[in-house]
Amino acid sequence: MKPAGVSFHVKRDAERLRVPLTDEQARVLERFHDLLTRKAVPLGLVSEGDADRIYERHLLDSLAAATAFEAADRLSLDLGSGAGLPGVVLAIALPGIRFLLVEPMRRRIAFLELAVEALGLTNVEILGERVEKLPGKVGPADVATARAFAPPLESWKAAAPLLRPGGRLIYFLGRRTSLEEADLRSVEYPPASLRVTEVLDSSMRLAIIART
């Protein structure tokens, strides 16, 4: 179900992002969009000002990160998952990967539980804990994602202890933040490599920080 005035074509837009989806995956993403509109906005998990642009600003941005995953990846952590952006979207697009949605706030956990059940996601687990309490309890993970979680270096320091050697943090730089503004060039601990990839017609960028 699409809100009045909202028009989109999930499979077509996913192909533009080079993210292949089945018809069923596209339908599940549409259902998640509906949940975000009907439930997440009233709960304050998505800004009311974004209600008419959830698809472009949140769902497609989240989906774009699927291009940064690799064939061997099996475990991903979504840090500060909130309304499941990007964790739920990526779990739909990448069913062969197990996603742990890390979110300590009860209201957000309740929405994530609703979404996982309503969408029938079997590759998702919700961890109701703060990220700093996870070392030794989960992982090592192949990937961690951080979107509106914390500043770049803070996100890297939180993710690094949870990643295997060679594991990557996918950090959503957004549309305007420069590397200098993000201060990512000063990444030092643990030893890491950094690359930035542009997606979605170069309007959104992902910083990929990998343990070396």
pLDDT reading at 192 higher than 90 = no
Beta bridge mates, 210 = 168, 193
Average pLDDT over residues 12-22: 92
pLDDT band at 173 (very low <50, low <70, confident <90, very high): confident
pTM for this prediction: 0.88
pLDDT reading at 132 higher than 60 = yes
Residue 189 DSSP one-character state: S
For 97-131, the pLDDT digits (tens) are: 999 999 999 999 999 999 999 999 999 999 999 99
For 20-55, the pLDDT digits (tens) are: 999 999 999 999 999 999 999 998 888 787 777 889
pLDDT band at 205 (very low <50, low <70, confident <90, very high): confident
Average pLDDT over residues 194-211: 66
Amino acid at the residue 190: P
Annotation: CATH topology of 65-211: Rossmann fold (3.40.50)
CB contact burial 15-51 (16+ within 10 A = b; e otherwise): eebebebeeebbebbbbbbbbbbebbbeeebbeeeee
pLDDT on residue 207: 83
User: In the chain, what are the domain boundaries?
Assistant: 65-211
